[in-house]
Amino acid sequence: MIKVTHLVKRFGDSTVLDGIDLEIDRGEIIVVIGPSGTGKSTLLRCLNFLERPDAGRLVIGDLDVDVTRASRADILAARRRTAFVFQNYALFANKTALENIAEGLIVVNRWPRAKAHARAREILARIGLADKADAYPASLSGGQQQRVGIGRAMAAQAEVILFDEPTSSLDPEWVEEVLALMKQLAKERQTMLVVTHEMGFARDVADRVIFMEGGRIVEQGPPSRLFNAPEDPRTRDFLRKVLAGQPASGTF
């Protein structure tokens, strides 16, 4: 369904993505972990063309494009097939929850406003915010804002939803409500590529966990194997650090 071949992204003299190869099947939930600054978020942004890659090939469904030659039409096609959930919500402050969800349907998909608003109301009900349709972001909690952000991605009916650290900007009391919504999407087999530091989510929900370091995929596998018996010393060192403080008897 999704195939990334030798994806490269540079910022000046720094190579942030160094030849990424990745395949994702329909309905698969992939969680990407690794140290900060290792290219995880940049990978997601390149798949959505929020960042323009310097080399590589991208296949999403029936779209097959050389990223160095991608036209505006190719980029719009990629964005129709991918939906992005930002770590800082990225909601329009001057639009209600309903309008934030409907905006992409109106602008990108060219839906009539009435149809887009009807779809947005359906999504608000699904995410437990039917009573917040007319609320502006400033009046919503962080968890509610992020659920609206996820609702916007759901409305697009994209082939894959890209989650960029969706809980990192939340106060601890709002994290679980966002993770619960993501778990529900996973049960529905929505294809998801998730960058997160939430190791419990990776353990419980992912079909495959990818460890990145230095702009490369170092190791990947099912969470039961990667957390319990990582093969690469860099993966072992990272997990030892992030899981410090876990009960000694806890296993992944």
Question: pLDDT tens across 147-171, in order?
Answer: 999 999 999 889 999 999 999 989 8
Residue 244 has pLDDT above 60, yes or no: yes
73 lies in some domain: yes
Band of the pLDDT at 249, cuts 50, 70, 90?
Answer: very low
pLDDT of residue 156: 87
The DSSP element (H or E) to which 141 belongs, if any, is none
* Inside any domain, residue 251: no
Q: How many domains does the chain have?
A: 1
In this model, does residue 246 exceed pLDDT 80? no
CATH no. for residue 86? 3.40.50.300
In a domain? residue 227: yes
**pLDDT for position 6:** 98
pLDDT given for residue 251 in this prediction: 38
Express each pLDDT in 33-47 by its tens digit.
Answer: 999 999 999 999 999
Domain residue limits at 225: 2-245
Query: Concatenated DSSP letters for 10-66?
Result: EETTEEEEEEEEEEE-TT-EEEEE--TTSSHHHHHHHHTTSS--SEEEEEETTEEEE
The more confident residue out of 120 and 248 is: 120
Q: What is the pLDDT, as a whole number, of residue 144? A: 96
**Overall residue count recorded for the chain in this entry:** 252
Examine residue 250 and state whether it is found in any structural domain, yes or no.
no
The predicted-structure confidence for 209-230, as pLDDT tens digits, reads as follows 999 999 999 999 999 999 999 9
Per-residue pLDDT tens digits for 71-109: 999 999 999 999 999 999 999 999 999 999 999 999 888
Confirm whether 45 is domain-assigned: yes
Which residue in 211, 202, 158 sits closest to 182, CA to CA?
Answer: 202
Query: What sign has the CA pseudo-torsion 53, 213, 24, 123?
Result: negative
pLDDT band at 173 (very low <50, low <70, confident <90, very high): confident
Domain-embedded: residue 228: yes
Residue 217 lies in a domain: yes
Instruction: Tell me the C-alpha distance between 205 and 123, whole Å.
Output: 22
Domain-located, residue 52: yes
